[in-house]
Amino acid sequence: MDGSLTPLQFPVAEPPPPGKTLAIAPGVHWLRMPLPFALDHINLWLLEDGGGWTIVDTGYAMTETKELWERIFAERLAGRPVTRVIVTHYHPDHIGLADWLTRRWQTLLWITEKEWLSARVMSHGAEDFAPLRRGFALRAGLDDTAAELFSERENSYRRGVPSVPASFRRLADGMAIEIGGREWRVIIGEGHAPELACLYCTETGVLISGDQVLPRISPNISVQAHEPDGDPLARYLASLAKLRNAVPPETLTLPSHNLPFFGLHTRLESLAAHHRARCDEVIAACEIPKSAMDMVAVLFRRALDRHQMGFALGEALAHLNFLMHRRALHRILDKDGVNRFIRRSG
């Protein structure tokens, strides 16, 4: 996590209360939905779309969230229907109610192909993931009990995403979408998710950033069990540079968590610096061989619950793999079956 705030500017001091919306930019309305874990809210967006509305992200599948949506439909849509549902990426707080919403309004889901495929795989269950994740956890340095718990974590996805629409309209990098007479351009980000869709409107100077850029915390960048040698941190850093080149610094950024803010380029630089500092810590610690689990204690100097531990382990591996791929670290599979990383000489 990264707590850097200044010199960001926040256009509002408080978010809208549950069941209410707040006009935050021309044609853009902000609402928040609860989440059942430590990061206790998600920002969602309603875009005025001519005779209807476009929803951007949907919330986690809970009865409470559905009830709040129904209140918004009754009180905040001015009698106009939802005509499109856009989802930035496949994580449960973003896509959880996409199937319910598209059925409720008889409309299409708009999403990138990789995010739709990821959601379909995860929501249909992946029983063969359990032994895969257990082996992944053991190689990362977890003991047998912790590895068994880690292997079961994948089943939690279906609690937040009980179903995913069977068809979709594909979003692609550089694609232009007309919403309410304004053009929104798709900018794909990677690292946090496989093919996350940010939306940028030049006319109003607004970026809907999803989880790619957050003002108070750094998005989780994790190695996944199904791609143990992956390098998501390299893709994430490249995406930060891409956003800097594509979007002006004075843009109003609408993130999925915390408050909307000005100061996009400042935040992009802060996030990149945060990960560079993490890499320096990893290299210093790997003077002697370290497992990913050893590295969690170096990078996260606070108590972590079970939910947070999974993210922390994936993030530790993301930094280790990043440095291994750049030949700053060497990975060794020890006799106990644990991968350990050591600094290369020179």
Q: What pLDDT sits at residue 6?
A: 55
Q: Please check whether residue 210 is in contact with residue 199, taking contact to mean a CB–CB distance below 8 angstroms.
A: no
C-alpha angle 268/240/292, rounded to 5°?
95
Written as six digits, the tokens of 204 are 């109003």
Q: 47: helix, coil or strand?
A: strand
What is the band of 153 on the pLDDT scale with cuts at 50, 70, 90? low
Q: Per the domain annotation, does 100 fall within a domain?
A: yes
Position 95, amino acid:
I
Give CA–CA dist 243/275, Å, rounded. 17
Q: 140-149 in b/e burial notation, b at 16+ Cβ within 10 A? A: bbbeeebbee
Residue showing tokens 């390098």 = 231
CATH of the domain at 219: 3.60.15.10
Q: What pLDDT sits at residue 1?
A: 54
Q: Per the domain annotation, does 159 fall within a domain?
A: yes
Give CA–CA dist 206/203, Å, rounded. 8
What is the band of 130 on the pLDDT scale with cuts at 50, 70, 90? confident
Q: Per the domain annotation, does 164 fall within a domain?
A: yes
Q: What pLDDT sits at residue 346?
A: 60
Judged against a pLDDT cut of 70, whether residue 167 lies above it is answered with: yes
C-alpha angle 43/45/51, rounded to 5°?
165
Position 62, amino acid:
M
Written as six digits, the tokens of 201 are 């409107």
Q: What pLDDT sits at residue 2?
A: 60
Q: Per the domain annotation, does 175 fall within a domain?
A: yes
Give CA–CA dist 217/228, Å, rounded. 25
Q: What pLDDT sits at residue 26?
A: 98
Domain of 91? 22-126+154-285
Q: What pLDDT sits at residue 304?
A: 82
Lowest mean pLDDT among 147-151, 153-157, 229-233: 153-157
Q: Per the domain annotation, does 300 fall within a domain?
A: no
Q: 176: helix, coil or strand?
A: strand
Q: Per the domain annotation, does 328 fall within a domain?
A: no
> Which residues lie closer than 8 Å to 167 by C-beta, 6 or more apart?
108, 109
Which of these, 124, 324, 136, 140, lies nearest to 233 by C-alpha position?
Answer: 324
Judged against a pLDDT cut of 80, whether residue 74 lies above it is answered with: yes
Q: Per the domain annotation, does 82 fall within a domain?
A: yes
- pLDDT more than 70, % of the chain: 96
Q: Per the domain annotation, does 345 fall within a domain?
A: no
Q: What pLDDT sits at residue 89?
A: 98
Give CA–CA dist 286/306, Å, rounded. 25
Q: Please check whether residue 320 is in contact with residue 282, taking contact to mean a CB–CB distance below 8 angstroms.
A: yes
Q: Per the structure, how many domains does the chain have?
A: 1
Cα–Cα distance list, 327 to 252, 322, 330, 331 (Å): 38, 9, 7, 10
Lowest mean pLDDT among 140-149, 215-224, 249-258: 140-149
